[in-house]
């Protein structure tokens, strides 16, 4: 009797995530046995399930059978490469019949390799390990490129990418999205008194204190520019965003960093602007900019009202 794929549950851990798409249980079992100790494995036996899984887990690698009962592998690849969430996931096609023309088609669509059926365990392991290593190296380089070197937070570029993804998800789920803009009060005066090294130390300590406030993996705190920070909060209404903004303010205030040239307090403080909205469209770039603008206006209001406060 054919073994049910549902008997093989994904293993959870810090290992690479691999999605295996094949309508033959014997092939899935073979691949499972090859990689069960090296990867968190996810299975699909048709195109619809493959697309659902890929979007849900964002795997590190997809092994994709070309011939499936509903959608063929080339169509699935094309769909995934059009989606910003999955366009960078490497895809290896698995097929029994492959010509040079087929390979050219697959590579043009964005596939990284082909594995021929019947599956050779040695070749399959070697090719999968090679592409997982390449993906890991690419991710490491991307992390460096998207990290603010001084504070270790996401940089402006990373923030824009994460904000767009969060906006799309909130639009699909009909969730609120919260925007928090934060500014260190009188930071130029701080630099003038304590020097740029002192200013850098202040930025690092402020960033660390705010980062410790966030508990959810999807919340993104970034250095937005100079002494300004930004935080995007998925599935968060105005009240929730205000709560986070106030926790940021309190966390930095509790550091007690001396700031003798501040007219607000004798220690470093923050002004915080908050805005929240339920996105009406997942592609609404104007809406994303309006939310930032709304939070920026509230930040300006917090400064006008005396600083060291949250305005929403």
Q: Which residues are catalytic?
A: 227
SS3 for 236?
A: coil
Q: How far is CA 233 from the centre of its chain?
A: 12
Question: 157-160, long-range: CB within 8 Å, 24+ apart, which pairs?
Answer: 158/220, 158/222, 159/220, 159/222, 159/224, 159/230, 159/232
95, 117 in Cβ contact below 8 A? yes
User: Max Cα separation, the chain?
Assistant: 79
| CA angle (16 as vertex; 60, 108 as ends), nearest 5 | 20
- Strand segments, DSSP code E, in 51-142 are 61-65, 91-95, 113-116
* Triad 265, 267, 271: Cα angle to 5°: 70
**Residue 244, preceding bond cis, omega within 30 degrees?**
no
How many residues can be counted in the chain? 312
Number of other CB atoms surrounding residue 264 within 10 Å = 17
Strand-pairing partners, residue 234, are: 177
Look up residue 6 and give its DSSP letter.
G
Specify the long-range contacts of residues 281-286, CB closer than 8 Å, at least 24 apart.
281/171, 282/167, 282/168, 282/171, 282/172, 283/168, 284/167, 284/171
- Quote the CA–CA distance of 39 and 183 in Å, as a whole number: 42
């Amino acid at each position: 009797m054919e073994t049910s794929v549902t008997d093989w549950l994904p293993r959870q851990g810090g290992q690479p995530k691999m999605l295996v798409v094949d309508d033959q249980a014997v092939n899935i079992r073979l691949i499972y046995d090859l990689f069960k100790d090296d990867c968190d494995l996810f299975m699909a036996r048709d195109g619809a399930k493959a697309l659902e899984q890929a979007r849900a887990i964002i795997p590190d690698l997809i092994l994709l059978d070309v011939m499936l009962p509903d959608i063929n592998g080339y169509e699935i690849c094309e769909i995934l490469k059009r989606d910003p969430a999955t366009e960078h996931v490497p895809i290896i096609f698995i097929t029994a019949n492959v010509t040079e023309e087929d390979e050219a088609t697959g590579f043009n669509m964005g596939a990284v390799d082909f594995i021929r059926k019947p599956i050779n365990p040695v070749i399959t392991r070697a090719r999968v390990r090679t592409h997982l290593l390449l993906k890991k190296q690419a991710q490491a380089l991307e992390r460096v490129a998207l990290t603010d070197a001084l504070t270790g937070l996401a940089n402006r570029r990373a923030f824009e990418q994460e904000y767009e993804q969060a906006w799309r998800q909130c639009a699909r789920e009909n969730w609120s999205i919260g925007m928090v803009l934060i500014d260190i009060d009188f930071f130029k005066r701080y630099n003038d008194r304590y020097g740029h090294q002192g200013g850098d130390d202040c930025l690092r300590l402020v960033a660390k204190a705010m980062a410790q406030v966030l508990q959810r993996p999807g919340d993104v705190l970034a250095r937005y520019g100079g002494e300004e920070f930004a935080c995007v909060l998925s599935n968060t209404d105005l009240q929730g965003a205000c709560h986070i903004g106030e926790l940021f303010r309190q966390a930095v205030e509790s550091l007690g960093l001396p700031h003798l040239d501040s007219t607000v307090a004798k220690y470093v403080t923050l002004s915080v602007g908050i805005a929240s909205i339920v996105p009406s469209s997942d592609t609404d770039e104007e809406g994303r900019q309006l939310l930032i603008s709304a939070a920026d206006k509230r930040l300006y209001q917090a400064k006008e009202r005396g600083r060291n406060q949250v305005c929403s």
